[in-house]
Amino acid sequence: MIIYKSIHVRLKLFLCSFICLSAFVSCNESRLSKEKITALSLIGADISISQSLTDKNDNEIIIKLFDKEGNIINNDSVLIKVNGADMELQKRQGLYYTTETRYYKTNSSVDKGYHLTINLNDKWYALGSVACIAEVNEEDIITDKEADR
């Protein structure tokens, strides 16, 4: 009888833990992930651009979308382009309960800057524009031959 109660208590604890964990896991994903987004005002974008100093076409662009509560938007119907080229939607399961969703592009052809557009509900909107960094020659970068110790 004692063994039965112990198993019963353990099962209840496990079930409660599982429910709490699943609620926590679903908290970081936006409700906009499951529905069609119709207005640009519903979303925010975290835009990260890295560019080589010596070659402006050696670059990396990452965009993460979020809603007004700061929750991650994971929606296949949203398309993003940089300078007219499609960005890849990447989804990755992180450790334990986290997921990462981002739009990603490397080695994008750049003339004067990065022009980002987003497609919501079959309409294109300007997401942002960022000027590229002017290229420099390696010989023009002055550094000490040895670092300070």
CATH code: domain of residue 90: 2.60.40
Kindly state whether residue 59 falls inside one of the protein's structural domains.
Answer: yes
Kindly state whether residue 148 falls inside one of the protein's structural domains.
Answer: no
Mean pLDDT of all residues in the chain? Answer: 81
Kindly state whether residue 40 falls inside one of the protein's structural domains.
Answer: yes
Give the pTM: 0.72
pLDDT of res. 17: 59
Amino acid letter at 19?
I
In the numeric block, which tokens belong to residue 118? Answer: 């987003």
Q: Which long-range contacts (CB under 8 A, 24 or more apart) does 44-51 make?
A: 44/68, 45/118, 45/127, 45/128, 47/116, 47/127, 47/128, 47/130, 49/114, 49/130, 51/110, 51/132, 51/133
Q: How far apart are CA 81 and CA 50, in angstroms?
A: 16
Residue 141 dihedral angles phi and psi, to the nearest 5°: -90, 115
In the numeric block, which tokens belong to residue 66? Answer: 């979020």
Kindly state whether residue 19 falls inside one of the protein's structural domains.
Answer: no
pLDDT of res. 19: 57
Kindly state whether residue 129 falls inside one of the protein's structural domains.
Answer: yes
Average pLDDT of the residues in 76-89: 92
Kindly state whether residue 1 falls inside one of the protein's structural domains.
Answer: no
* Domain of residue 73, residue span: 31-138
Q: Within a 10 A sphere around the Cβ of 35, how many other Cβ atoms? A: 11
Kindly state whether residue 24 falls inside one of the protein's structural domains.
Answer: no
The percent of residues above 90 in pLDDT, for the chain, comes to: 31
Domain count, the chain: 1
Q: In 3-state terms, what secondary structure has residue 26?
A: helix
Residue 61 has pLDDT above 90, yes or no: yes
Distances (CA, A) of 121 to 59, 78, 86, 117, 124: 29, 8, 16, 13, 8
Kindly state whether residue 110 falls inside one of the protein's structural domains.
Answer: yes
